[in-house]
A = this chain, B = another copy of it.
Amino acid sequence: MQDKSISQAVIGRLPRYYRYLGDLKDEGVERISSKELSILMKVTASQIRQDFNNFGGFGQQGYGYNVSYLYEEIGKILGLNEDHHLIIIGAGNLGRALTNYSNFGNRGFIFEGIFDKSSELIGKKVGLLTVKPMEELEAFIEEHSIDIVVIAIPKTGAVSVADRVVKCGIKAIWNFAHVDLLVPPDVVVENVHLSDSLMKLSYMLTVR
């Protein structure tokens, strides 16, 4: 599907394209030119064409892009054509919020389990799931073919949990703990550092 190393800048823009194309599709728009899309998304038409051409030509000269087709193709590039099986480590507020984020399910992200070390939480229901003890982690990953682990615990425990799941063969971690995880080069980590994000906002507010 894709060739040699697409830049992070391009990858970071794909989900936004996907969202706009999904909206257009829902509105019944059949075709769109890079120029029209550029106005809608407030980027240059040049960038749009360059980005898409990283993955081969999706358009047609003189016509533009077919919205449905482009939407599907970008979905495939993002790996949304196949299901992903996730577990969440940490049944605190954040872990529970993520579990109930049902939208993810529509896109093939299926939450299979939630774990916590606290005996007060183990056995409690979170949406459709029941909080399991950390001892069962490895067996569960194996048994349910988990491919993405969500880390939603404080940073003190995050590093050792990451080590544990990497040892089980997990190759993708969605990390909400405020720490940089050290993983082998074949494991990918996507960080969501909420306090970093809030600090950036604070900076921008301060400068103005």
Contact = CB atoms under 8 A, between A and B. Distances in A.
Most chain B C-beta atoms within 10 Å of own C-beta, residue among A12, A77, A207 = A207
Interface string A13-56: 01110110000000000000000000000000000000000000
Interface in A50-108: 77-80, 82, 84, 92-94, 96-98, 100-101, 103-104, 107
A112 interface: no
A174 interface: yes
Q: How many copies does the complex hold?
A: 2
A200 interface: yes
Interface string A95-125: 0111011011001010000000000000000
Most chain B C-beta atoms within 10 Å of own C-beta, residue among A19, A98, A199, A200 = A199
A77 B16 CA distance: 30
Main secondary structure of the interface of A (DSSP, over half): helix
A188 B201 contact: yes
Interface of A: 1-2, 11-12, 14-16, 18-19, 77-80, 82, 84, 92-94, 96-98, 100-101, 103-104, 107, 109, 147-148, 171-172, 174, 178, 186, 188, 190, 192-208
